Amino acid sequence: MIQTAPLTEWRVVGLQAVDLMIQADTVGADILPGVICALDAGLNDYTITERGDVGSLVRTQAIQCVQSMWKSTQTQIDAESRHLLEGNIIRLSLEKMDRVRLQAARCLKQDLNAKSVSDVDVTNHRPFNWRVLLSLVQKAHYKSNNIPRILAAVEVYQALAEKPTARADTLKKLVSMLRTNPYPKVRTAVAECLFLATGDQALKIIDWNKPSQAYNVPIDVRSRPVFYTFHKVLSNTAGTTIGTSPFSDSLKRRRKGAASALNKPSVASYVGHLDVETLAFVKEGLEYGAAGTQSVDPMPMIQRLSLSLALTLNWGTRLGSRNDPLFHEITEVEEEISKFRSTSGNMQDYVPFLRLNPFNAGSTRAREMRQRRDVYLTKLNKDLDDRMAKGTHKPCIQANVIQDKEAKLNKEELTSISLTMLSGGLDTVTTLVAWSIALLGQRPDIQEKAIREIRKTFSEDEMLCAPEDEMKCEYVMALVKECLRYYTVLRLALPRATVRDITYEGKLIPAGTTIYLNAWACNMDPAVWKDPEVFRPERWLEQPEAPLFTYGVGYRMCAGSLLANRELYLVFMRMLSCFEIEKGTEVETHPVKGSSDPTSLVSLPHRYEVKFRPRNEVKLREQITAKEKVLGEC
């Protein structure tokens, strides 16, 4: 009926109905041949009327049906039918009409990336081969300044690059595409992303701190690429964090200000703040968890710890309770903002014409978060200004920088430092502690080893451990580093951008190329570790000088790594010294399988519950009370 329907609209509606049937897994073997015929007809519908190529509406809907069919686990089609549909999709991925071509390219990429597709040479089993497909794709974008056409071609290239039999030719064509295309805007649109797969490659390709002597060219990757959603929509008013800013004189001033506040002597001066916040964390675990009799979600506790420390260090004000409305507002907004920083979660960053949609949900949401963030940033800054005017403010980063006559930072640069402190704690430290507690709840053996080592220095009469401890408990420090390695929270470190052309192994990497450090792969490098996929803290006692890529490398390495390590160490020491952590609810702790949102900037676990069972409740309560009294008198 679909093939014979006289009106285009009827054929589209018919295919929409077929799509719903496929998604509902109701296409049985008895009607499947008819569905295949209908899809074949739809993929070849080139009806032309006075309105133009109205058949493109049918072709687009038919492609959608094929996508649904390839996603379906119930709809089983024979090899001949699959070959028929694939041949049509390949042809459509190269046709003239942008809308159809892009939809077909996405469909083809989905099929090529499917687990059911073999990585062996399939030339003798498919009605096409990789070399012919590469040639056709190259013809589609060669010397073109049509952005949608190039993006469609790149999507096919990305899929083909994952196939061993096509990888070499694909990469060669991508390099050629970047070197020879005469149009600057095309080169910008298809800035090649180089994934550094292992730690060896990450260190070999570039000396991240100074010009390379090996290639006799200055290699500068200190900049960051600019993404539409985060940089141009979300950051339109308050600006960007230090970590996400392109290289400039302003960035150098901000990094200098942040570096002085986050160097080793400065971090040592923050021990008092760490003492207060980690004590509050332990007390909350004891009371919130009803002394281990009740399972609790630790995430709010972790968020309050990180957020309060960030507010204390940057504005000189604490956040004592997770019931504070400001806590809920900041954590909700910053969590959403983190999604906009993602390099893979915002399609409009890579497909420019999507930005023209007046109902674009991504841009609308980004503007909303920008406005809400501006409100609490303004309040925090105003409150600090008032305290400084009255002379009642406490020493903090913002006040120190404002009073530093040599810093010469403007309002936007001060805000950038503030945003850096907020996002750094809530994005990375919070996520790492969340993963770690989930794992410890399922690994009592690790807890037992840790408490034995802790008790060598701190007895049950010192369950809160001295905050001044210079990270001398080697096993706990090894545990912290193993959590940082195994749970690489930013699997793709924030991307960098080349400032000038680079030649690497005879290949040209043009200026403006985006370079990603695959920190996850670097931390899992089998050339460094014989058992990289095993969680084993002892590895850091065996190889204390082994590289750790979680904080990045080189000039744009995380400026707050010293503070983060000190905070994590004290959290782990006090938490393990005071509590046995028991599993409350089931949660997947594998760093890949357990990720709640693979497209997010940071890799978060699913929400879960644990029990914080005190090792000695009476002594713990006594020590908390005594510690609070001492801190109250300080």
Binding-site entries for heme: 558
Instruction: Write down the residue that tokens 């905070």 correspond to.
Output: 567
Report the first-to-last Cα separation within the chain, whole angstroms: 83
Question: Within a 13 Å sphere around the CA of 34, how many CA atoms are in the beta-carbon half?
Answer: 13
**Residue owning tokens 């985006």:** 514
The CA distance from 338 to 332, in Å, is 10
Rg (CA), the chain: 28
Q: How far apart are CA 560 and CA 313, in angstroms?
A: 12
Which of 566, 580, 581, 593 minimizes the C-alpha distance to 487? 593
- Between CA 104 and CA 133 the distance in angstroms is 14
Rounded-to-integer distance, Cα 333 and Cα 395, Å: 27
Nearest of 75, 7, 72 to residue 35 by alpha carbon: 75
**CA 567 to chain centroid:** 22
> Which strand (E) or helix (H) includes residue 579?
strand 579-583
Residue 123, C-beta contacts closer than 8 angstroms, at least 6 positions apart: 129, 130
For residues 302 and 157, give the distance between their C-alpha atoms in angstroms, rounded to a whole number.
Answer: 42
Return the DSSP state at 352: G
> What residues contact 440, with CB distance under 8 A and at least 6 apart?
446, 447, 576, 581
Q: Which residues contact 575 (CB under 8 A, 6 or more apart)?
A: 281, 282, 285, 437, 581, 612
List the binding residues: 558
* Cα atoms found within 13 Å of the Cα of residue 17, Cβ hemisphere only: 10
Strands 48-49 and 496-497: unpaired
250: its two tokens: 């302003």
**214 burial class (0-12, 13-18, 19+ CB within 10 angstroms)?**
exposed
Closest CA to 610 of 447, 487, 417: 447
